[in-house]
Each structure stands twice: as C-alpha cells, then as structure tokens.
Amino acid sequence: MNTHRKHILGVIGGVLAAQLASPALAAGLPQLDIATFTPQLVWLAITFVVLYLLMSRIALPRIGQVIEERQHRIEDNLAKAETLRADAAEAEASYEAALAKARADAHSVMVEVHDQVASEAAAKLADLSAKLDDNLKQAEDRLVQEKEKALESLGEIATEVTRALTEQLTGGDVSDKDISKAVGTALEARQ
C-alpha cells in the first residue's frame, strides 16, 4: 500500500515538474507577450466591427420584425377573441331575457288556467252541495212521513193483535172502542 502511494505521488510530482519546467512557462505567460498584441487587436477591431454591422443591419432587424409581427398577430387575435366574447355574452343575455319572458308567460297562463279551473270547480261544488242538501232534505222529509205513517199503522196493528189475543185468552168479544182506548193509552205511555 505504502509503495503504491509513493508510486502515485512520484507520478504526480513527475507530471507537475514536467509541466512547470517546459520552455513556454519559462518564457512567461503567453498572454503577456507584447509582440502578439497588435495582430490580436487588429483582428479584434475588424471582426467586432463586422459583427456589429451584421447584427445591427441584418440579424437584429430580422428577429425584431418577426417578434413584432407575432406580437401584432397575438394582439389581433386577442382583440378578435374579445369581440367574439362580447358577442357571445350579448347572445347569452338575449337568450336569458327570452327565457325569462317565456317563463313569466307560462306562469301567467298557468295562474289564469288555475284560477279558471278553481272557480269552475267551486261553482260545480256549490251546485253539487246544494243538490245534495236538497236530496237530503227530501229524504229526511220522506223519512218523517214514513215514520208517521208507520206510527199510525202501529195503532191499527196493535188493535188487531190485542183483539186477537183477547179473543184467544178470554174467548169473548171485546168492543173495538175499548181496545182502541187501551192501545191508545199504552202507546201514549210508551211515547
């Protein structure tokens, strides 16, 4: 392990030594070689001026134009979308109004029909109940008559029964006058 490390350190040291000892470094930084300045600066001036002219005359106007056109198009489309949106809102409003009107109409028609039906029904009901009352009254009257009739015939029946019973019991004849008197008192006592 130790010899390995020594070996690696030796290699690193050797590389660094070779790099530092080379003639270029001994001559100093290449950047500080004043003789190379003028050709560099001459070409820097030429190339940068050319680049500036190419950029300001050709490249940048083109890009700027394309971006501007796109911006215009987007604005146009936005404006168009805005008018379409306004149209749609208007259409919706008129639709809403029409719907509300239709609803109100339907409601008034319904109320009218309802009122009409209700009044008709009320009239019919009143008619019916009047008729029913009438019928009831007639029935009651008839009932009273029947009852009276029944009560009247009750006396006759009672007289007949009494006669038959007394004949059976006594074997003799009893006068009609007596029987009706007795029945009359008995009926009166019952009532």
Partner 1 sequence: MANPLEQFTIKTLVPIQLGEVNASLTNAGLFMVLTVAAVTLFLTLGMTRRAAVPGRWQSMAELSYEFIAGMIRDNVGNEGRRYFPFVFSLFMFILFANLIGMIPYSFTFTSHIAVTFTMAMVVFLGVTVIAIIRHGLHFFSFFLPTGVPMVMAPILVPIEVLSYLSRPISLSIRLFANMMAGHTMIKVFAGFVIPLGILGGWAPLTVIVALTAFEFLVAFLQAYVFTVLTCLYLNDAIHLH
Residues that bind partner 1 (CB under 8 A): 8, 11-12, 14-15, 18-19, 22-25, 29-33, 35-44, 46-48, 50-52, 54-56, 58-60, 62-67, 69-70, 73
Question: b/e for 132-160, b at 16 or more Cβ within 10 A?
Answer: eeeeeeeeeeeeeeeeeeeeeeeeeebbe
Secondary structure (H, E, C), 122-158: HHHHHHHHHHHHHHHHHHHHHHHHHHHHHHHHHHHHH
> Residue 22 or 138: which CB sits closer to partner 1?
22
> Residue 54 or 139: which CB sits closer to partner 1?
54
> Residue 71 or 145: which CB sits closer to partner 1?
71
* Closest separation in Å from C-beta 81 to partner 1: 16
* Closest separation in Å from C-beta 29 to partner 1: 6
- 3 state DSSP class of 59: helix
> Residue 34 or 189: which CB sits closer to partner 1?
34
